[in-house]
Amino acid sequence: MEQRNLLVSALSVGVGVGLGLASARWTASAQGEGGGGCSGVGVAELEAELRRLVVDGRESDVTFDEFHSFHYYLSERTKEVLISAAFVHLKQADLSKHIRNLCAASRAILLSGPTEPYLQSLARALSHYYKAQLLLLDVTDFSLRIQSKYGSSSKGLVHNHSISEIAFGRMSDLIGSFTIFPKSAEPKESLQRQAIGADMRSRGPDGTSNAPSLRKNASMSSDMSDAASQCSRHSVSARRTSSWCFDEKVLMQSLYKVMVSVAENNPVILYIRDVDHLLHRSQRTYSMFQKMLGKLTGLVLILGSRLLDSDSDYRDVDERVSSLFPYHVDIKPPDEETHLDSWKTQMEEDAKKTQIQDNRNHIIEVLSANDLDCDDLSSICQADTMVLSNYIEEIIVSAVSYHLIHTKDPEYKNGKLVLSSKSLSHGLSIFQESGLGGKETLKLEDGLKGSIGCKKSEMEKSTTVPLKDGDAPLPPPKPEIPDNEFEKRIRPEVIPASEIGVTFDDIGALADIKESLQELVMLPLRRPDLFKGGLLKPCRGILLFGPPGTGKTMLAKAIANDAGASFINVSMSTITSKWFGEDEKNVRALFSLAAKVAPTIIFVDEVDSMLGQRARCGEHEAMRKIKNEFMSHWDGLLSKSGERILVLAATNRPFDLDEAIIRRFERRIMVGLPTLDSRELILRTLLAKEKVAEDIDFKELATVTEGYSGSDLKNLCVTAAYRPVRELLKKEQEKEKVRLSLL
């Protein structure tokens, strides 16, 4: 209680001081406080900033010529492989058409190595060797630089506001953004923190599961020994921010223009840091990068970096990454003991520097997301930077309060309140003295002072939250089983909850059905502790039936989105195969894959076509086997009670289903045609974001559309939207006729 009161008191004092300065007036300058948010940064601005990152490789001090020019150990074979792979694209682009189908001649090369500075040095040396231009692109760092230059992306400040209003607004935003009291779960909107060199083995075609590489790697030396591999491990996971202040499309367009423009006069190398993280950001980012890569021509070479730790397999590259970067160059430690010790020391220093910079970037991102900034963040020591990065959301409230108390005229830059490093350090000291971080804070500091190459078990031990009295220790994580060939076929059908994009708010009416689904589906998924044994068991099957167009499929998508569950869309094409016996194996793989990505919702639309009555005349024997296998894994001898798998189905013909299938649907919910009030609500939902006349009578529309389904109402609105378009075209045609008649 004292810890909470301490932070609340500091916050109250900060707000009070801001309100007490009402006599002071503050006027924002057009450059410092006006618009210009990052959301307004266009292709021209990003293109100009990207051009500033292009350097001439001939001026690089890192070369392949002599050993002392390249500051790391580099085998001759690695150098020759890299030089030969780049020759076609940087010197003889016309020859690429003769070897375009060979992965070794790919324009995109994936560099896998221990540290980022090492891989960047290879890019610099290669650009010097071919006298090429070089663009080193770290998208995270580039985004922070753009946001710092062009201002906050959230909003501009209004001119001539008193400092009390501004202070009160800032503190109100902070109160809404940060939680200083203990909480049971992190909010969905919290900024993600990702470790560099993350193990990509657990990602598949959709970025969620294991997937092997498409080809054999170009290995440069013998396998990495355990001792040598430890140098690439960080003492504490470094932070890699995930949010950008510009649109992916704008970035790709700007990048393409810069590459094409530079390649007209000189060969150019584009180096992208953490390219696997970039490609897994979203399907949209992946598709646009793939499109840009396909359009590039001329003397252009793309290098993508991929960091590895001791547990990573050099051959284990995600399929999506391998499809765009089919040629892999792996950087491994030297075999000779004379070079190994110095190589390990260099890798430790590089990992430490990268970790510190990524932690600072994460702090800057959290500050910027709340219209805050810190100009002298580099003056904070490394140990404090580590703790700040891990607990910035808890520390920043006290830091802002301290800053407002001791600063008479707060400084604002690009719409952001500028904090001093002293204020952040003061907030950190309050956090440590109040004991909110407990022993974990001290252990994090000790871990930073220790060796960067400490073992994984020791690092996890130093960062584990202390257990309370009576709590049982957490069980060790189970090793992830790789996908078999049948699971790989179904893997593309898995849709993460974050990519569904449909919520219950998008569905007008159906309030009673929404409430039932929340009780049957979301509650067991979110609170499995309440459904253990006895009569309270999670529902394993729900059937939505009713007339066409009533929103059954949208309800299924909204369930998966709001419940945070993986969504597998199953159809006949997913299950059936021309080979005898593979249909049943596909069904088995469906449920085994669902168990891996649990909690999972298996959605079968038009389920009557797949799981209809087995006594149906003319049905093939293979269909009966599919139904039997499906029922066995769903709710039979092969099913497991602890699996968090829900089969959700929709149909317009419920009486065509097999009786055994209907029995397994524990809940059968009818989604009927909307009532008068429901139709009015659906119309309001459909037209909420459209420009409509103010005098529109929704009640009258709902009355005259009796018998319409939700889909019919949407089609009605679409048809009405075409009416002004036709009227506009008609007026333009009449004007054109008048103009021609006057000639």
Q: Which amino acid is at 551?
A: G
pLDDT, averaged across the chain: 72
Q: How confident is the model at residue 64 (pLDDT cuts 50, 70, 90)?
A: confident
289 plus 141 within the same structural domain: yes
Q: How far apart are CA 370 and CA 589, in angstroms?
A: 45
As for how many domains the chain has, the answer is 4
Task: Locate 32 and state its tokens.
Answer: 């410092």
**Pairing mode of beta strands 416-419, 327-330:** unpaired
CA 140 to chain centre: 13
Q: How far apart are CA 380 and CA 472, in angstroms?
A: 38
Other CB atoms within a 10 A radius of the CB of residue 454 amount to 17
For range 348-359, the mean pLDDT? 80
pLDDT of 192 above 50: no
3-state secondary structure 341-363: HHHHHHHHHHHHHHHHHHHHHHH
Partners of 25 in the β-ladder: 162
pLDDT of the residue at 144 = 79
pLDDT of 445 above 50: no
Asked whether residue 308 is domain-assigned, the answer is: yes
Which of 639, 670, 701 delimits the end of a domain?
Answer: 670
Asked whether residue 428 is domain-assigned, the answer is: yes
pLDDT in tens, 416-440: 788 887 888 777 788 777 765 544 4
pLDDT of 42 above 50: yes
pLDDT of 159 above 60: no
Contact 638, 673 (CB under 8 A): no
Q: How many residues can be counted in the chain?
A: 743
351 plus 437 within the same structural domain: yes
Q: How confident is the model at residue 268 (pLDDT cuts 50, 70, 90)?
A: very high
Asked whether residue 506 is domain-assigned, the answer is: yes
For range 461-473, the mean pLDDT? 43
Q: Mention every residue, 6+ apart, whose C-beta is less than 8 A from residue 543.
A: 607, 649, 650, 651, 654, 657, 662, 665, 667, 668, 669
Torsion of CA 662, 667, 670, 676, to 10 degrees: 180
Establish how many alpha carbons lie within 13 A of residue 359's alpha carbon, considering only the half-sphere containing its beta carbon: 28
- Between 76-80, 240-244, 348-352, the lowest mean confidence (pLDDT) is in 240-244
Say whether 150 sits in a helix, a strand or coil: helix
* Pairwise pLDDT comparison (734 vs 243), residue with the higher score: 734
Q: How far apart are CA 403 and CA 397, in angstroms?
A: 10
pTM of the full predicted structure?
Answer: 0.44
Asked whether residue 187 is domain-assigned, the answer is: no
Q: Could you list the residue range(s) of the whole structural domain that residue 712 is in?
A: 676-742
Give Cα separations from 455 to 354, 475, 591, 665 (angstroms): 19, 19, 36, 49
Domain of residue 726, CATH code? 1.10.8.60
266 plus 243 within the same structural domain: yes
641 plus 572 within the same structural domain: yes
Contact 630, 677 (CB under 8 A): no
pLDDT of 644 above 50: yes
Which of 336, 364, 387 delimits the end of a domain?
Answer: 336
Q: How far apart are CA 354 and CA 385, in angstroms?
A: 13
Other CB atoms within a 10 A radius of the CB of residue 178 amount to 17
pLDDT of the residue at 395 = 80
Q: Where are the beta strands (DSSP E) in 133-276?
A: 133-137, 161-162, 268-272
pLDDT of the residue at 134 = 92
pLDDT of the residue at 271 = 92
pLDDT of the residue at 272 = 92
Partners of 139 in the β-ladder: none
Give Cα separations from 117 to 10, 124, 217, 306, 718 (angstroms): 42, 10, 22, 12, 55
Identify which of 90-99, 239-248, 362-371 has the greatest average pLDDT. 362-371
Q: What is the DSSP letter of 561?
A: H
pLDDT in tens, 180-189: 444 444 443 3
For range 501-528, the mean pLDDT? 79
pLDDT of the residue at 11 = 46
Question: Phi/psi of residue 588, each to 5°?
Answer: -65, -40
Give Cα separations from 386 to 186, 420, 439, 712 (angstroms): 20, 17, 15, 57
In angstroms and rounded to an integer, the radius of gyration of the C-alpha atoms of the chain is 30
528 plus 651 within the same structural domain: yes
Q: How far apart are CA 529 and CA 184, in angstroms?
A: 14
Q: How far apart are CA 279 and CA 281, in angstroms?
A: 6
pLDDT of 369 above 80: no
Say whether 731 sits in a helix, a strand or coil: helix
Other CB atoms within a 10 A radius of the CB of residue 76 amount to 9
pLDDT of the residue at 151 = 61
Which of 670, 695, 720 delimits the end of a domain?
Answer: 670
Q: How far apart are CA 387 and CA 394, in angstroms?
A: 11
Task: Locate 100 and state its tokens.
Answer: 């375009």
For range 498-508, the mean pLDDT? 78
pLDDT of the residue at 639 = 64
pLDDT of the residue at 188 = 38
Domain of residue 604, CATH code? 3.40.50.300
635 plus 520 within the same structural domain: yes
29 plus 47 within the same structural domain: no
621 plus 515 within the same structural domain: yes
685 plus 723 within the same structural domain: yes
pLDDT in tens, 289-323: 999 988 888 889 999 988 876 555 555 777 888 88
162 plus 133 within the same structural domain: no
pLDDT of the residue at 107 = 82
pLDDT of the residue at 638 = 60
7 plus 142 within the same structural domain: no
For range 551-566, the mean pLDDT? 80
173 plus 237 within the same structural domain: no
